[in-house]
Amino acid sequence: MPYRFYFALVQPLLTAVLLALASPSTAAEAINIYSARQEALIKPLLDRFTDQTGISVNLVTGSGDALLARLRTEGRNSPADLLLTTDAGRLYRAREAGVLQPALQDLPVALVPGHLRSPEGYWVGLSMRARVLVYAPDRVDPAELSSYQALARPQWHGRICVRSSGNIYNQSLVASMLATQGSEATQQWLQGLVENFARPPQGGDRDQIKAVASGQCDVALVNNYYLGAMVQSEDPQERAAAAKVRLFWPNQQQRGTHVNISGAGITAAARNPKLARQLIEFLLQDSSQRWYAEANNEYPVRDDVPASALLQSWGEFKADQLDVSELGRLNAAAVMAMDRANWK
């Protein structure tokens, strides 16, 4: 049997044996994290935590859906103490799947506002992102822009770019519409929006920004931090594309711009729940919140921590105060509504 094949077979067993043989003191001084955030976007903070506390952190990264499936499969035998993922919809799914425990209900509201956390204490937001409009200033007068709902008007026919309906950021936006506008109005909006697509949905948020910059469309729906990343990119083509577009805050005269979170919850199988909570509290400290804003172009969940200079350059905005738990609760209804509207 080839050595590599043999090692692939026995590696999971060896890992389990090593974990079982680990001394209690060793296990108590380490936190195991399943993270849907890219390593570069979270590891610097985890390294700071280890430097300050002496507690080591073991990081496993992957897609949010894959990590949730892994937690469900592992059940009570999961080595993970903490799930760190993006979008309230995924956090809601994790809570519904029974892989989180209600260990955060007594976190001070001053750290995380009530609408950005699970009311039962299963998860909390760590950073906030906004679903904004980017537009081509040479083809769009910002006075023409107003709200998400207005994108369904005939004037935008063939002028809008957006990624697929399979993307959870779009699903959560639609869920927020269902929560605030109702099913009938949301369905009508979806029909008009899809009719105004400039092309079949494709690519990620950066691709939508590039499409606006290149003239394939005039307006796109994106998360704000993608534009920030392109502004600061080492790739000159990305910086050039970002320089050709502008950001607009929708729904400022109504409920406010739709916001979502990245967040964390302590797993139901956690062997070190107290240490996991200590790490969450560290991620909510002033310095950690500022780092999120500077490095990731996301907004602090804490009202008393200022945004980065780049984020501030986009101006202040009114954020929707909808309980983000609704984004998860209404996710299935949002997906069905998008399917009915033929949003591919």
Q: What is the tens place of the pLDDT at every residue in 232-274?
A: 999 999 999 999 999 999 999 999 999 999 999 999 999 999 9
User: Across-strand partners of 117?
Assistant: 124
> Do residues 306 and 254 both lie within one domain?
no
Question: What digits encode the pLDDT tens for the residues 123-142?
Answer: 999 999 999 999 999 999 99
User: What pLDDT score was predicted for residue 237?
Assistant: 97
Domain that holds residue 13: 3-128+260-313
The region of weakest confidence among 15-29, 95-109, 115-129, 319-333 is: 15-29
The answer to whether position 319 is within a domain reads no
Q: How confident is the model at residue 317 (pLDDT cuts 50, 70, 90)?
A: very high
6 is in an annotated binding site: no
Given this model, what pLDDT does residue 72 score? 95
Report if residue 11 sits inside a domain. yes
Q: State whether 117 and 134 are in the same domain.
A: no
Round to whole Å and give the CA distance between 70 and 317.
38
**Into how many domains does the chain fold?**
2
CA neighbor of 132 nearest in space, from 332, 281, 311: 311
Residue type, 311: L
pLDDT at 179: 97
Percentage of the chain exceeding pLDDT 90? 84
Evaluated on CA atoms 235, 236, 240, 243, the torsion sign reads positive
- Taking residues 53-82, what's their average pLDDT? 94
Predicted model pTM: 0.88
Specify if 318 maps to a domain.
Answer: no
- Residue 225 assigned as binding residue: yes
For residue 28, pLDDT beyond 60: no
- Identify whether 250 is part of a domain: yes
